[in-house]
Structure 1
Amino acid sequence: MKNLILNTDSYKLGHFLQYPPEVRRVSGYVTTRGKSFWPEVVFFGLQMFLKEYLSKPISRDDVDEAEDIAGLHGQPFDRVGWQRIIDAHGGYLPLSIEALPEGMTVRRDTVLAQVVNTDPQLPWLTGHIETSLLRAIWYPSTIASLSRRLKETLRPFYEKSSDNPEALLDVSVADYGARATTTSEQAGIGGLAHLIHFRRTDTLAAVVCGRRYYGAQMVGFSLPASEHTTMLAWGREKEAAAFRNMVEQFSGSGAYSVVSDSFDLANAVSEIWGKELHDIVVQSGATLIVRPDSGDPIDTPVQVVAQLAYAFGTHLNTKGYKVINHQVRVLQSDAVSVQDMSMVLGRLEGMGFSAENISFGMGSSLLQKASRDSFSFTMRCSAYQDDKHTWHDMARRPVVLRDSEIKAGRRAVVSDDGDTFDIPLTELGRRANLLQPVWRNGELLKEWTFEDVIAATVRRL
């Protein structure tokens, strides 16, 4: 959406007529409601929105277009207000935004960001930005939170059975979800959120977002890999030649992935990789990653690990678990879920194999199977300032009495004895407010690098 005026819900166009005349400023906050099943959320992604959308001023053409659409659409339009933004503010929305450090993990129901209009003649602007601001926060924060939970789910398997578990965890799950998203923008935003916790990706849009919005030269890594098209082009009779070509072309890269189920996975693993090409794989000195792209997502990769172990031999790592020799590994990426990964690693562990023998890839289940309701994200306007500069709390009554009271007033976020929570701003006193000013009237006040984001992940409740 190029026109920021129209980057909202239709009904908000008429809100400039609905506030009491004494209202000058409205303050709202973004949070996750306490009803989410997940106990923690990672805050991430606001800076992308600030740089891509709020840093670009609106123009007279934008106002003309919005006015025309509003009239035809059945909504009133504040031509005077939007023209004031151009004349008095150079087209930049007069908003002040404060937020937690990006990458920080907090309990659900904690305020993540807070916004207020800075021009007292435009109190409706805070509500107008809700749609785009909430969307800018909920999606990347949700993907970052789910990826963090995925990593913590896999951690026990790697800690128990593998050497150097942290390094292995970082590359244990690759992002293959670009084609599963609805737009390249979504792929970039979600893909970058995943890379807070993992380092493998084939989503180039995420790499671009990392460079463009967080100053990272490189946020994630890929490796040469085949697909069915490049293998099928050789034909079944030349499948071994196709595999040999992969070894010869990419052994110098250190690692390469070969999809091996185009015709007969069992034959490819045991006969071609295990016998015919055994010596060339060993002599190359590079890591061969065999990819069983179909079949049962649990049984198949376990069987392939066992077949490769038989063909190439194993050794015991320092934890006493078997590791396939010559850096031969397995990658399972076809329709694999978190539960599938856990079951695969559990079976391998039961068979005496280390988790380091296998890694995983995720697509739609990583970047697409998420919604605003995954963590119950919401934005609430919680206070207004009147024409006498006095702030007043705003909060609706809970729907049912057993619901928790909705937080009113301007908020602050504090840390106390290792716990992080939000309080009324009036109760902050001398405590440090973790909500830091990040944006004001078209100016980025705080810029996070991707290294800052990763470092902030250690700050938990």
Structure 2
Amino acid sequence: MKNNILLLTDSYKLSHYKQYPAGTSQIYSYFESRGGKFDYITFFGLQYLLKEYLAGQVVTQAKIDQATQLYAAHFGTDTLFNREGWQYILDKHQGRLPIRIKAVAEGSVIPTHNVLMTVENTDPECFWLSNFLETLLVQLWYPCTVATTSKAVKNLILDYLEQTGDPSLIDFKLHDFGFRGVSSVESASIGGAAHLVNFMGTDTVAALTFIQEYYQSNSMFGFSIPAAEHSTITSWTQDGELDAYRNMLQQYPEGLVAVVSDSYDVYHACEKLWGEALKDEILQRNGTLVVRPDSGIPKEVVLRVTEILGEKLGYTINSKGYKVLNPKIRVIQGDGVNYESIGEILENLAANGWSADNITFGMGGALLQKVHRDTQKFAFKCSCATVNGEDRLVFKDPITDHGKKSKKGRLKLILNDTHYQTVNQDEDGADLLQTVFENGEIIKEFTFDEVKNQANV
């Protein structure tokens, strides 16, 4: 049975409803990044989880019966599963979850150590439900981390464009190559969409339909170009390498076209084939050839390839004093690309007088797969429990790791001038957390246009 919400949790959550103090009527929890690789978070992906798993009638008799049978076998007893609690939700709430979720606007860029989302039950009989949903809701770490990584790369490249070239080129400077490197089609969809919060280049087609389905848009937010892979070049044999390249120029006589050029000797290809034998065809073509090296030490290979192409096809000096290749030729690096190597490549180009205008990056595994929950140290913690009608401040502060200290009380996020701050709800300041889900209904939706606009505020 697909998407049985009763089964989308960790096993130990099943026993927690018996563990809260007698008289508990509400559990209030929050979601935050406790730091990590980058000092801010681009918030994205909650709307997908709400639409796919939480909205509408998600509890049915068949799902309760399935869970009863599965958990009895899983635990070896039928005494742990809270069948009565789920039956109550079905009978009293028609299978809709009595939960309120508040969150920052999708696309918001918020400093770490701030509340991003809160979760609380709206029916006192369902106090156990708030943290039962933790397992599912914490999967927000993935789209948030991808969107944050993409944002950080955007800021890095933009710094070099402002120093050496044209900042208006930023939207297509990082291309998503990650589909084949992720664990599932779902990961490609979610992570690919998270990247498109910041950029417009992608080869992850699954991200495009994801945006259309979950973010109310039939517009196109991701774009690509015709490009070669090694099989389409090497099938011509090494002796036919020149013919393979010429075929690419002839098959795509206009616009951008990318050609992998390291099948044998990338320097020979740039100097003798692209730079001499095919030079006139490149210069006469109505478009831009993008040469792709795909092996070696990235910062060294990119610089040498750029210098060869500059020598053979020409370059100009821009107003900032940096060299820009003839507009008929550019370079894309798609091997060994991550946040650190991008910085190294751009720094090496700049140190040798070359503008960041000349290079685009394709990022795969490091964008969509080489991330985990602790990349940005995401956590979901209870901060308030109502017991016998009184709120209790709930927190932890391990003596062995004060970095895991959690927040207390009912929280809100405010903006003081340009400074975000998490404070208690009774303190001054307008709360930036909006109710997005309540009692089975999505209250606030965001289009992808709105998400992108928010990310660039």
TM bin (shorter chain): over 0.9
Aligned to 1:413: 413
User: CA distance change for structure 1 residues 60 and 194 in 2, over 3 Å: closer, same or farther?
Assistant: same
| Residues in 1 aligned to 2:175 and 2:402: alpha-carbon distance in whole angstroms | 42
| Residues in 1 aligned to 2:363 and 2:24: alpha-carbon distance in whole angstroms | 49
Give the stretch that moved more between structures: 405-414 or 364-373. 405-414
Aligned to 2:87: 83
2:444 equivalent among 446, 449, 455: 446
> Is the 8 Å Cα contact of residues 99 and 437 (structure 1) preserved in structure 2?
yes
Q: Secondary structure at the match of 2:298?
A: coil
Q: Secondary structure at the match of 2:124?
A: coil
| Residues in 1 aligned to 2:240 and 2:404: alpha-carbon distance in whole angstroms | 66
* Residue 144 (structure 2) pairs with residue 141 (structure 1): yes
> Is the 8 Å Cα contact of residues 99 and 122 (structure 2) preserved in structure 1?
yes
Q: How does 1:158-237 map to 2 (within 5 A)?
A: 158-163=161-166, 165=167, 167-216=168-217, 217-237=219-239
Given residue 103 of structure 2, which amino acid in structure 1 is its aligned partner?
A
Aligned to 2:10: 9
Q: How does 1:26-175 map to 2 (within 5 A)?
A: 26-34=27-35, 36-55=36-55, 57-74=58-75, 76-135=80-139, 137-163=140-166, 165=167, 167-175=168-176
CA shift, 1:15, in A, is 1.6
Q: Secondary structure at the match of 1:408?
A: coil
1:412-459 deviation digits (Å, cap 9, x = unpaired): 11111221111111224xx31101000011211111111211222245
Aligned to 1:258: 259
Q: Secondary structure at the match of 1:426?
A: coil
2:430 equivalent among 432, 440, 445: 432
RMSD of aligned alpha carbons = 1.8
Q: Secondary structure at the match of 2:170?
A: helix
How many residues of Structure 1 are paired with residues of Structure 2 in the alignment?
A: 451
* Residue 301 (structure 2) pairs with residue 297 (structure 1): no
> Is the 8 Å Cα contact of residues 28 and 118 (structure 2) preserved in structure 1?
yes
What percentage of aligned pairs have identical amino acids?
A: 39
CA shift, 1:339, in A, is 2.4
| Residues in 2 aligned to 1:434 and 1:327: alpha-carbon distance in whole angstroms | 47
Aligned to 2:245: 243
Aligned to 2:360: 359
Structure 1 unpaired stretches of 5+: none
> Is the 8 Å Cα contact of residues 337 and 362 (structure 1) preserved in structure 2?
yes
Given residue 84 of structure 1, which amino acid in structure 2 is its aligned partner?
Y
CA shift, 1:386, in A, is 3.8
| Residues in 2 aligned to 1:3 and 1:251: alpha-carbon distance in whole angstroms | 52
Give the stretch that moved more between structures: 402-411 or 445-454. 402-411
Q: How does 1:374-413 map to 2 (within 5 A)?
A: 374-388=375-389, 390-399=390-399, 406-413=406-413
Aligned to 1:331: 332
CA shift, 1:214, in A, is 1.3
CA shift, 1:55, in A, is 2.1
1:47-92 deviation digits (Å, cap 9, x = unpaired): 1111111125232222122111111111611112112222222222
Aligned to 1:457: 455
Q: Secondary structure at the match of 1:306?
A: helix
Q: Secondary structure at the match of 1:286?
A: strand
CA shift, 1:276, in A, is 1.6
| Residues in 2 aligned to 1:206 and 1:287: alpha-carbon distance in whole angstroms | 26
1:220-262 deviation digits (Å, cap 9, x = unpaired): 111111101111222222222221221122233x101011112
Q: Secondary structure at the match of 1:194?
A: helix
User: CA distance change for structure 1 residues 3 and 402 in 2, over 3 Å: closer, same or farther?
Assistant: closer
> Is the 8 Å Cα contact of residues 383 and 393 (structure 1) preserved in structure 2?
yes
> Is the 8 Å Cα contact of residues 398 and 406 (structure 1) preserved in structure 2?
no
Give the stretch that moved more between structures: 239-248 or 298-307. 239-248
Q: Secondary structure at the match of 1:112?
A: strand
> Is the 8 Å Cα contact of residues 95 and 115 (structure 1) preserved in structure 2?
yes
> Is the 8 Å Cα contact of residues 34 and 404 (structure 2) preserved in structure 1?
no
| Residues in 2 aligned to 1:43 and 1:12: alpha-carbon distance in whole angstroms | 26
| Residues in 2 aligned to 1:344 and 1:393: alpha-carbon distance in whole angstroms | 49
Aligned to 2:26: 25
User: CA distance change for structure 1 residues 338 and 37 in 2, over 3 Å: closer, same or farther?
Assistant: closer
> Is the 8 Å Cα contact of residues 146 and 367 (structure 2) preserved in structure 1?
yes
> Is the 8 Å Cα contact of residues 119 and 130 (structure 2) preserved in structure 1?
yes
Aligned to 2:373: 372
User: CA distance change for structure 1 residues 404 and 441 in 2, over 3 Å: closer, same or farther?
Assistant: closer
User: CA distance change for structure 1 residues 182 and 378 in 2, over 3 Å: closer, same or farther?
Assistant: same
Q: Secondary structure at the match of 1:97?
A: strand
Give the stretch that moved more between structures: 235-244 or 91-100. 235-244
> Is the 8 Å Cα contact of residues 312 and 326 (structure 1) preserved in structure 2?
no
Q: How does 1:262-281 map to 2 (within 5 A)?
A: 262-281=263-282
| Residues in 1 aligned to 2:246 and 2:124: alpha-carbon distance in whole angstroms | 70
| Residues in 2 aligned to 1:385 and 1:241: alpha-carbon distance in whole angstroms | 74
